[in-house]
Chain A
Amino acid sequence: MTALLEVRGLSVSYGGLRALKDVSFSVAPGECFVLLGANGAGKTSLLRCIGGLVRPVAGAISGNGLSLLGLRPSAIAHRGIAHVPEGRRVFPHLSVFENLSVSWLRRPGGPTLPDAVERIYGMFPRLAERRHQLAGTLSGGEQQALAIGRGLMNSPSLLMLDEPSLGLAPVITRQVFSQLNSIRESGIALLLVEQNASSLDLATRGLVLANGSVALAGSRDNLRDSAFVRRAYLGL
């Protein structure tokens, strides 16, 4: 089976400062791949690079077997790889409905805008209640739901999420994770970047980034059982 997303030997530098060194992994259809790492480990750089905002100095990225290197971020989004950025980044002065509608792409055979928006409202009833409210006035959890909903507007095959639990209360984090689990069960693969090791509950596989390189990779149980993860992330 070809991987949804394949990253090989990826290196990223910012003005001589190495952020990522030789990172390789792949995400298969329908799985949840978790990237764990501390602040500054290179997690966000990795997602920005896959999303097309940062050019790598070396390595290859392909989606469904086709190279994604050199594509504009919007073109990568159109290839079915949606990116929910760190800090949610909803458009604060646009309403909930407008936030969703700008993320919609007219495609032959694709859903109409009202259908696509209704589908998201079905998944997140809170957003339906607040459809005319400005996104900047939503609570953190609602904004996260909106950011995820925005990512799902064009029925991607892979949803990349950058620390969706950041700044949320534990109970809201659990809600977000359970929503992510149902999204995965609906067949959309997840690439989940987290510092929060409870995200491992969702994972099929994953890796741990430290100082820009892969410190550890494997199945969920491998990661959970490793002394490194237990010490650094689970506090055991």
Chain B
Amino acid sequence: MYILQLVIAGLQQGGIIALLSMGLALMFGVLRLVNFAQADFMMLGMYGVIVLGAELHTNFVVSSILLALPAFIVGMLVYQLVIRQVAKAKLASAPEHAQLLATLGLSLVLQNGSEMIWGATPRALPSSRSLQVWHLGGLIIDQPRTIGFAIAVLLGVAMLWTLRHTHVGRAVRAAASDRDAASYVGINVRRAYIVTFGISILLSVIVGGILVTYYPVTPQTGNDFILLMFTAVIMGGLGNVMGAMAAGLILGLVQSLSQLVIPLQLNTAAVFGLFLLLMLVRPQGIFGEVTRL
């Protein structure tokens, strides 16, 4: 029973990491862009849900839905006004390097900007829900985490389905696979990039909306997650969205189940120990060969 309880907790945590990492993997797979600010957009989503809850008294699901469209638009604007301009400006030997530095800068701006607005004190969602649980047999199932997990899985599957079965999704995969060839067959590659960036930011913000129901937010909360996200993306096979999803779930499980054999305080060590082992055995990642979606 105890193990089952840990599995449930692991999946709940893993679902969050999975969805976060999928956004990061999508961005890397399509734009070849390593986005250090990805988790900071999640942090913005957390504050967003708190602010909306205070102003409009909406619950976290409604708040997250309300934030989705603005997040998508902000993502597209950030790409258009920052990432793309930096690549054009020839600031570094390769446009990817300049873009990578730009995302680091963006991360600093978002963190310090949030600190200016909301201060450094941790804030939590004043919700009675955060203490509600279901009793199932002998299991105690935390409600907000479970709802959050369900949303994360649903969104993750929806994203994979979109990539596979819609015209836009296929165009994005084609642009990821071969930028020039994609433009030759009439795909507007720039539009595919903008949309990809927007969707990726949207995913981060939604994850923030889920996470804030049980995780207090500070302007630096993104830092708690960014390393795990990169780990999941690399474990899944760089740029492989499905791989990132699987790796995110595995990381959550490992973090949780490691308590069975090692002290709780070492669960992060278990995660990175596994990561190191995997890199020794399969450096291309679980699903990786070369980059693929």
Query: Are A and B a genuine interacting pair, yes or no?
Result: yes
* Interface residue ranges, A against B (CB under 8 Å): 51-53, 72-74, 77-78, 82-85, 89-94, 98-99, 101-103, 105, 150-151, 153-154
Q: Which of A72, A78, A89 has a CB less than 8 Å from the CB of B181?
A: A89
Chain B residues within 8 Å of A53, by CB: 180, 183
Q: Which of A72, A99, A153 has a CB less than 8 Å from the CB of B188?
A: A72
Chain A residues within 8 Å of B292, by CB: 93
Chain A residues within 8 Å of B115, by CB: none
Minimum CB distance partner of A98 in chain B = B170
| B177 contacts A77, C-beta separation under 8 Å | no
Q: How far is the CA of A93 from the CA of B181 in the complex (A)?
A: 14
| B183 contacts A91, C-beta separation under 8 Å | no
| A101 contacts B167, C-beta separation under 8 Å | yes
Chain A residues within 8 Å of B145, by CB: none
Q: Which of A73, A98, A153, A154 has a CB less than 8 Å from the CB of B183?
A: A73
| B185 contacts A102, C-beta separation under 8 Å | yes
Q: How far is the CA of A138 from the CA of B190 in the complex (A)?
A: 29
* Range class of the B interface residue count: 20 to 34
A85-B180, A85-B181 are known; give 20 further A-B pairs, CB within 8 A.
A51-B184, A53-B180, A53-B183, A72-B190, A73-B180, A74-B186, A74-B187, A77-B183, A82-B184, A84-B184, A91-B178, A91-B181, A94-B173, A101-B167, A101-B170, A102-B173, A102-B174, A102-B187, A151-B185, A153-B185
Chain A residues within 8 Å of B173, by CB: 91, 93-94, 98, 102
Minimum CB distance partner of A91 in chain B = B177
B175-216 contacts to A, CB under 8 A, are 177-178, 180-190
Q: Does B24 have its Cβ within 8 Å of any Cβ on chain A?
A: no
Q: How far is the CA of A51 from the CA of B190 in the complex (A)?
A: 16
Q: Does B76 have its Cβ within 8 Å of any Cβ on chain A?
A: no
Indicate the member of B170, B178, B180, B187 with the most A CB atoms within 10 Å: B170
Q: Does B270 have its Cβ within 8 Å of any Cβ on chain A?
A: no
Q: Does B234 have its Cβ within 8 Å of any Cβ on chain A?
A: no
Minimum CB distance partner of B292 in chain A = A93
Q: How far is the CA of A99 from the CA of B185 in the complex (A)?
A: 10
Q: How far is the CA of A72 from the CA of B188 in the complex (A)?
A: 8
